[in-house]
């Protein structure tokens, strides 16, 4: 167990960040699955789902949750489902 107040605070902060990051990554996976599931659907629905996914990827990249190259790679792969 930690011996200093700062160490205890660091442990609490890490727990909060882990929960937040896990939730955000799970949301990204869910959005990706939704876009993939709409591969044969009408174009407007595919487009809307893809826009939500790309927006979520950009936000995750901006806060440092995922790497910029991974974001670009995933968006490129997703484009194949749309068009």
3-state SS record for the chain: CCCCHHHHHHHHHHHHHHHHHHHHHHHHHHHHHHHHHCCCCCHHHHHHHHHHHHHHHHHHHHCCCCCHHHHHHHHHHHHHHHC
**31 touches 56 (CB < 8 A):** yes
Round to whole Å and give the CA distance between 49 and 55. 10
Q: Convert the pLDDT of each residue in 35-74 to its tens digit.
A: 888 878 888 888 899 999 999 999 999 999 999 999 999 9
Mean pLDDT value across residues 14-27: 95
């Amino acid at each position: 167990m930690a011996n200093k107040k700062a160490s205890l605070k660091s442990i609490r902060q890490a727990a909060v960040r882990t929960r937040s990051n896990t939730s955000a990554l799970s949301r990204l996976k869910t959005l990706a699955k939704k876009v993939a599931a709409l591969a044969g659907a009408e174009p407007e629905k595919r487009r809307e789902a893809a826009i939500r996914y790309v927006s979520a990827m950009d936000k995750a990249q901006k806060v440092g949750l995922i790497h910029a190259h991974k974001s670009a790679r995933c968006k490129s792969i997703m484009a194949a489902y749309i068009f």
